[in-house]
Structure 1
Amino acid sequence: MSTTQSERLRELLEPLVTSQGLDLEEIAVDSVGRKRVLRVVVDSDTGADLDRIADVSRALSAKLDETDAMGAGAYDLEVGTPGAERALTEYRHYVRATDRLVRFQLHEGGELVARILAVDEEGLDLEVPGVKGRRATTRRLAFPDIAKARVQVEFSRKDGKKDNGDDKDNEKEEEA
């Protein structure tokens, strides 16, 4: 049974990322012109600041240098976080998005924009914003009903809370 380069890289790098207290969210190897770029996306429940990203980037770079996992050719290593408008694909992503506004694509068709209030094993408790002066309502959404979900950036919230947009999500460290 053959494995892809991304799967082999995940097996090699995930223990290092985990040892730094982070989750390995994504690995992608892309060609950009004549260069190859290895993109590694990490995150944690408490976020990943620039220092943590730099530490994990150095550890990954050292591990890749001591193996031939990327082959003999030159490549760039980019380590970053998922970004402010991250896709929610795993249970932990929904937990981390509690109190954030999310756009849901539903399996039954249609779309819903709501704030995640609580998450449990079966689904989500949501607050659906009111329209045209109406009050917000609450709704329960089961995980099997969700086709896609993506966090939305809010520049100002009507309830007075600031959406920090997780400034850490825009931090990146690049090494070769």
Structure 2
Amino acid sequence: MSDVNIDQLREIIAPAVERLGYDLDDLKAKKAGRRVVVTVVADGDNGVSLDAVAEISKEVNNALESAETTGGWFADAPYTLEVSSPGIDRPLTLPRHWKRNIGRLVAVSVGEERLNGRIAAADERGIELESKGANRRLEYSELGPGKVQIELK
């Protein structure tokens, strides 16, 4: 088998995930002996349940099998499919990541400054971060990757 082309793989898998109303958050493919391990990370506005993971797995598997029958580059090697949702430690880098975490406590770098606060709002241009009793508007272009903080209550 030739090297896995992640862009071609994304063209096969992304539509399958999106048909179910989810976003393809991450995609990896690595060789493991004669097999290829395909790792799909999907996310949605309301998260991804175990039932959704099973549904996404089935849809992605069908898309990969369809690509195999048309003689695609995946046809000449067996593969293992792993589907999951992003973990709490996934960095917040895209507007949709920030929007899906409104109300959560986060840590984020803004230039040299490290801020901790709660995401009060998020839109296409940036977020409003509640920190130290005040709200601060921050554009995405100013933000480094954010990280959701675990709160013990």
> Which protein has the bigger helix share?
2
TM range, smaller chain: 0.7 to 0.9
The residue type paired with residue 51 of structure 2 is D
Residue number among 105, 109, 113 corresponding to 2:109 in the alignment: 105
Partner of 2:140 in structure 1? 143
1:94 corresponds to 2:98: yes
TM-score (norm 1): 0.74
Deviation track 1:47-106 (CA, whole Å, cap 9, x = no partner) reads 211111101101111221232343422321100111112211211111101001111122
Deviation track 1:109-153 (CA, whole Å, cap 9, x = no partner) reads 13111110011233211111x4xxxxx332222211112212222
Q: Which has the higher contact order (CA 8 A, sep 6+)?
A: 1
The residue type paired with residue 74 of structure 1 is P
Provide the C-alpha distance between the structure 2 equivalents of 1:64 and 1:121, rounded to a whole number of angstroms. 33
Provide the C-alpha distance between the structure 2 equivalents of 1:144 and 1:73, rounded to a whole number of angstroms. 42
The residue type paired with residue 136 of structure 2 is R
Task: Using the TM superposition, give the Cα deviation of residue 34 of structure 1 relative to its aligned residue in structure 2, in angstroms.
Answer: 6.1
Provide the C-alpha distance between the structure 2 equivalents of 1:110 and 1:36, rounded to a whole number of angstroms. 42
Residue number among 42, 51, 73 corresponding to 2:77 in the alignment: 73
Partner of 1:43 in structure 2? 43
Provide the C-alpha distance between the structure 2 equivalents of 1:138 and 1:18, rounded to a whole number of angstroms. 34
DSSP 3-state at the match of 2:25: strand
Partner of 2:22 in structure 1? 22
Partner of 1:82 in structure 2? 86
DSSP 3-state at the match of 2:98: helix
TM-score (norm 2): 0.84
Q: What are structure 1's unaligned runs of at least 5 residues? A: 131-135, 157-176
Identical-pair percentage:
35
